[in-house]
Amino acid sequence: SSTVLSDAHSLAKTLRTWFEANGGWLNPDVVIVYDGSCGFHARASKSLGAPVIAKCPAQLTLSYLNLDRSQTRVPHVDTPLQSFLGQIPNHVLTYLLLIELRQRFFDKQASLWEPYIACLPGPESMTTPIWFTDEDMAFLQGTNLAQAAVTTRERWNAEWEHAIDTMEKSGYDKARVYSFEMFCWAATIISSRAFSSDRILPDFEKSPILFPVIDILNHSTKARVDWNFSSYDNFTLASREEFSTGEELFNNYAPKQNDELLLGYGFAIPENPSEQFAVKIALPLHQEQHYLQMDAFNAKYVPFGMSAASLQEDREQNQGFIRTPGNPFGRYDCSLPFLRGIPPYVVHLNFLATLNSLGIELDAIDPARPPARVFIKTILGLYQAVRSKSERLPLRKIDLSTLANDKQRFAAIYRDGQAKVIYEILKELEAPIMKRRVCDQIPGFHPVITTTTEALLAFERDFPAQYALFETGL
């Protein structure tokens, strides 16, 4: 409504005045504006050529360090929370401080960051999966993010309960002011807007830190920006692009896939070039010990010319990423092009399972050029696993404009992007299989994939006497 826009304009003007009065600098040709779809953001008020956009001084940053009276780098906030330094994790104290400053704003109690707090989105504006209803969550069915959202909420709940318990045991009678809903709000603000404190305050423990005004810029994977941190002084954001009048200015959080964007920031990018599919890799303990005893993870046993370093990295992280051609994170080294989108550790485990099922010792073959039956069985195992995932996450067409809210639209964008990654990898794996698959004809003498019927036809053709005995035996 016009009233909302008028109020937002006033808040934006106050934010700028406050920022510049306290040592911040915002390019005179950049304006802070508001609309319902983008929230508060920055636009060019006239044509700009590769400008410095903003500088935020350390004195305006917001984090747990504002509770630490022993430091002099950032302003102190007088609050009972100061007594819980060392008892409650630093990042949790940052959440609690943010909640308290928001409450002070609504109680009309002054604080240094009042104009900044006034422009932060409220719980009703949050669009990360933590804030999804059951109807919204239905759009994540079949994806990794459905469980990740549950896990994140459980972690936040445990952190919140520990903080409340610690405060109540100390006799602090206002601990329940920090409700779990507001704890989730503060955690979402931090996940979507904070930077790492060590870039500007290197002598302190690394923790999330807010830089007012700079954090107003929205994200674009195409934005060309420079981040310049001057220790203990300021954070400067500069652009390497030119802007026309009215054009929005963006920050760039670096390439990120949509699950990270949606879970941490609350949005997803259609046709995201960085989209990839996360694969959790967790072997049963007895199986891992068996492979370790075999020295199966030795670089000399890595198949198909894959990178042993990539395999080790996936193994240490218990996670890998399926990637389609053109992904900016890069694909994997492999002599077989159709395996370059699959994490080396996943391929290696399928290779080991194949050898185990066929009773073949690791030293009995050349992993770079394994026998045809090993090759085919390994590829089939991978194909079946990817096909199973594709069946649970099928391609579909959906009109985003028909969905009820932004949460559902972002979830649908993410979900369909994941389905496309799986489908493309499935097609890559399908090509070599179909090349060796002989349908509706008698197969030749090269290694092929065939049906039982086709195999029996070949048996009868090439060994009629033996086939007759076989048939009699049946």
pLDDT of residue 380: 94
Residue 470 has pLDDT above 90, yes or no: no
For residue 93, what are its two tokens? 């104290």
The pLDDT tens digits for 354-392 are 999 999 999 999 999 999 899 999 999 999 999 999 999
Determine which helix (DSSP H) or strand (DSSP E) holds 193, and give its type and residue range: helix 180-193
Q: What is the mean pLDDT of the chain?
A: 92
Rg (the chain; Cα; Å) = 29
Domains in the chain: boundaries: 2-256, 277-435
The rounded distance, in Å, linking the Cα atoms of 145 and 414 is 9
pLDDT of residue 455: 74
Q: Quickly state the pLDDT bin for 176 (edges 50, 70, 90).
A: confident
Q: Quickly state the pLDDT bin for 1 (edges 50, 70, 90).
A: low
Q: Tell me the average pLDDT across 244-265.
A: 96
In the DSSP assignment, the letter for residue 368 is: T
pLDDT of residue 315: 84
Environment class of 322 (CB within 10 Å of its CB; exposed 0-12, middle 13-18, buried 19+)? buried
pLDDT of residue 452: 75
Reference 151, options 280, 286, 287, 268; nearest CA is 280
The rounded distance, in Å, linking the Cα atoms of 389 and 223 is 34
The rounded distance, in Å, linking the Cα atoms of 148 and 151 is 5
Q: Quickly state the pLDDT bin for 449 (edges 50, 70, 90).
A: low
Check residue 26 and give left, alpha or beta (phi > 0: left; psi -120 to 50: alpha): beta
Q: Tell me the average pLDDT across 45-64.
A: 95
Q: Tell me the average pLDDT across 337-350.
A: 95
Residue 411 has pLDDT above 80, yes or no: yes
Q: Quickly state the pLDDT bin for 472 (edges 50, 70, 90).
A: confident
Residue 96 has pLDDT above 60, yes or no: yes
Reference 327, options 276, 370, 365; nearest CA is 276
Q: Tell me the average pLDDT across 305-320.
A: 87
The pLDDT tens digits for 187-234 are 999 999 999 999 999 999 999 999 999 999 999 989 999 999 999 999
Residue 311 has pLDDT above 80, yes or no: yes
Q: Tell me the average pLDDT across 79-92.
A: 97
Cβ neighbours of residue 375 closer than 8 Å, sequence gap 6 or more? none
pLDDT of residue 450: 64
pLDDT of residue 448: 59
Tell me the pTM.
Answer: 0.88
What is the third-level CATH fold of 2-256? set domain protein methyltransferase, domain 1 (3.90.1410)
pLDDT of residue 437: 67
In the DSSP assignment, the letter for residue 161 is: H
**DSSP states of 132-143 as a string?**
--HHHHGGGTTS
Q: Which residue in this structure is represented by tokens 């009820």? A: 404
**DSSP states of 373-432 as a string?**
HHHHHHHHHHHHHHHHHHHHS------GGGSSSHHHHHHHHHHHHHHHHHHHHHHHHHHH
Dihedral sign for Cα 116, 117, 121, 126, please: positive
SS3 (DSSP) at 69: coil
Residue 92 has pLDDT above 60, yes or no: yes
Distances (CA, A) of 120 to 57, 76, 125, 217: 19, 21, 10, 13
The pLDDT tens digits for 186-195 are 999 999 999 9
